[in-house]
Amino acid sequence: MSSSATAPTIDTALIDIVKVTKTYPPDIMALDEVSLTVGHGEMLFLTGASGAGKTTLLKLLCFLETPTMGLIEIDKRDIGKLSGHKLQQMRQHIGVAYQDFRLLPKQTVYQNIALAMEVRYENPKFIKQRVVELLADLGLTDKIHTPTAKLSRGEQQRVSIARACANRPPLILADEPSGNLDPAATSLVMNLFHRLNEEGTTIIIATHDQTLYQKSPHRLLNLENGKLQEIIKVNFDLS
Amino acid sequence: MRYLSFIFGQLARNFRHGWTSQVMTLFTVSLSVLIFSFFFLIYVNMEKASSRLGNELRLIVSLEQEVPTAFRPEFKKKITDFAKVDKIVFISREEAFARLSKQLGRDSDILEDLDPSFLPYTVEIFPAGDLKSLTRIKDFSDYLGSLPGAVKVQYGQEWLERFGYFISLLRMIVILSGSLLILTSVFMVSYTIRLTLESRQEELEILRFLGATDRYIRGPVIVEGFLLGLLGACSGLLSLFFLFQWIKNHFSGPGFLNFFELSFLPLANSGSIFLIALLLCTCGSLISIRKYLKV
Ligand SMILES: Nc1ncnc2c1ncn2[C@@H]1O[C@H](COP(=O)(O)OP(=O)(O)OP(=O)(O)O)[C@@H](O)[C@H]1O
Ligand SMILES: [Mg+2]
């Protein structure tokens, strides 16, 4: 196995999840004592049946939900203790492609992607350049001024992925990034992810899509009924 | 600089998405400013008129007999002991008679067969400027009436009293309408801004997810409130000015209004109305955004 597939040691860890349990009311146990360490610059796949808790785990990492029990550290900081300005700054450094996209329907593709950079007060010229670049990468160049409500699901999905990548954040969380995409579009997205990963971005991808991880050397984790286990892949590509 | 350009970019975007409510707020603010400053304008003019009236005020004391020249200084001293006085004029029967015949003009021939002795000796007293309030004038008049030899004191009591009541009524109206209008405009401004925020709730939520800071969200909203106040106050005061010009042009000439010599709000007053409107609109927007800044 390649070096990137081995679990990181604590001092290189970007994310440290320790015995995290999440229950939704009334008593739905979405995550059950999950522990996971993710290293700087790692790419990681998260699989599991529908309802296994993948989205829940990602939501915990981007502050959309708080754990019922347990500890989550990002960059050695207990994220349960972040609030106000610190929390918002942390959010600026995590790119999230939500399963339900969370785009602004009335605003254009350009505006939706630019927003992620505007909240960081980036240079307008830079923003423009970056949006054009991302849209070219994802095959959406001709949709730049279309309101996102008028896009197909697959196009909306790519816009949300472009927004997640816009700031070149150190951490990207992608929830079912190929859920609505054909193989060609999927490979555009994965190429982008791989490129960012090579530049040092840590990426966590939750997916049902075997083609995404089958041939990749990266770690694969499986969630089942809220319990996390690592899958050791038999890698056919090993020479 | 970049922060400002972001604020104005967002402002333009918000306006494109919800200009109706913004225009409504603007309308409310200018109407409130107009109504309040209109009452205030009337009040200011009334006050002015009443002080002018005070300057023209004189008390006429009728006497049983003429005050001999030798006693006049003592008589004057008695008066000035009670209140400051600009001028005291002793009027003989002959002078009074001459005045009366002048007032009658062409009808003065009815006086021909009369002797000036039917007229009383009088003293005219012009109180100094600080004798303004009605009760003080009353006290003064009572005092004058108690002077030896005084028969009657006249100063247009009834008219003055009515005018005094009118002024205090007007003062009440200005204060009441002012506070009500301030309340309504604060309410309206914060309400419409809240409406725009509510329609933008989804957007604010997404901004939150993307890591927008309080400053980023608050900035455009405050600037929006500020601009609403600025434009609203300006257009309110401008409409008042045009309304004032119109009234002045249409009702000038001889008559009641001419006596008041209408004048516009002094700069200090219109300036403070302007500043208050600005402050209230900005505060209104601050208050309404507060709810949304809690993560
Ligand atoms: N807000 C919520 N309130 C109550 N229950 C919830 C909530 N969100 C998720 N759940 C439940 O928690 C469990 C895990 O949900 P989650 O969305 O994490 O699954 P998932 O692995 O992402 O599924 P999918 O592959 O379909 O996206 C499910 O049983 C779901 O019904
Ligand atoms: Mg999910």
Nearest chain B CA: its distance from A121 CA (Å): 7
pLDDT given at position A161 = 96
Average pLDDT over residues B267-288: 86
The answer as to whether A60 is a domain residue is yes
Give the number of C-alpha atoms closer than 13 A to the C-alpha of residue B223, restricted to the C-beta side. 18
Residue A172 within any structural domain of the chain:
no
| Inter-chain residue contact A104 with B203, CB threshold 8 Å | yes
- Supply the pLDDT for residue A111: 92
| Residue A55 covered by a domain | yes
Q: Are B278 and B229 in contact (CB under 8 A)?
A: yes
For chain A, the domain total comes to: 1
State the pLDDT at residue B22: 80
Q: Residue A153: inside a domain, yes or no? A: no
Residue A33 in domain: yes
The pLDDT of residue A130 is above 90: yes
Better-scored residue on pLDDT, B115 or A187 = A187
- The whole-angstrom separation of Cα B234 and Cα A56 is 53
Name every chain A residue with its beta carbon within 8 A of the beta carbon of B9.
118
Print the SS3 string covering B221-274. Answer: HHHHHHHHHHHHHHHHHHHHHHHHHHHHHHHCCCCHHHHHCCCCCCHHHHHHHH
**Which residues have beta carbons under 5 A from ligand 2 (an ion)?**
A 54-55, 99
Interface of A with B (CB under 8 A): 62, 64, 83-85, 87-94, 96, 102-104, 106, 111, 115-116, 118-121, 123-124, 163
Q: How many CA atoms lie within 13 A of B194 on its CB side?
A: 12
**pLDDT for B145:** 82
Q: Whose CA is nearest to atom 7 of ligand 1?
A: A24
A87 falls within a domain: yes
Calculate the average pLDDT of chain A.
89
Does residue B79 or residue B244 have the better pLDDT? B244
**Cis status of the peptide bond prior to A26, with omega within 30 of 0:** yes
φ, ψ for residue B125 (rounded to 5)? -120, 125
Q: Note the pLDDT of residue A7.
A: 59
What is the domain range of residue A20?
1-92+208-234
* A119 occurs within a structural domain: no
Closest in A91, A106, A123 to B210, CB measured: A91
Q: Report the alpha-carbon distance of residue A167 to residue B8 in Å, rounded.
A: 22
Separation of alpha carbons B253 and B9, rounded Å: 53
Kindly determine whether residue A104 and residue B202, on different chains, have CB atoms separated by under 8 Å.
yes
B-chain residues within 8 Å CB-CB of A102? Answer: 206, 209
Alpha helix stretches (DSSP H) within B146-213: 157-199, 201-209
Verify whether ligand 1 is closer than 6 Å to residue A47 (CB atom).
no
pLDDT tier at B253, thresholds 50, 70, 90 = low
A30 lines ligand 1 (CB under 6 A): yes
- Atom 9 of ligand 1, nearest CA residue: A56
Are A159 and A140 spatial neighbours (Cβ–Cβ below 8 Å)? Answer: yes
Residue A38's SS3 state is: strand
Q: What is the pLDDT of residues B91-147, one digit of tens each?
A: 888 888 888 788 777 777 777 777 777 778 888 888 776 555 667 778 888 888 888
Give me the sign of the Cα torsion angle B72, B78, B79, B85: positive
Q: Which atom of ligand 1 is nearest to the CA of A176?
A: 27
In chain B the domains, ranked by start, together with CATH numbers, are 2-53+166-294 (no CATH), 58-154 (3.30.70.3040)
One-letter-per-residue 3-state SS of A100-161: CCCCCCCCEHHHHHHHHHHCCCCCHHHHHHHHHHHHHHCCCHHHCCCEHHHCCHHHHHHHHH
Mean local confidence (pLDDT), A31-38: 92
Q: Which atom of ligand 1 is nearest to the CA of A53?
A: 18
Distance of CA B260 to the CA centre of its chain: 13
Return the higher-pLDDT residue of B258 and A53: A53
* Per-residue pLDDT, A235: 55
Residue A78 pairs with which residues in a beta bridge? A73
Please report, for the domain that includes residue A16, its CATH number: 3.40.50.300
| Mean pLDDT (whole number) for B208-229 | 87
B161-197 pLDDT per residue, tens: 777 788 788 788 878 877 887 787 777 777 777 777 7
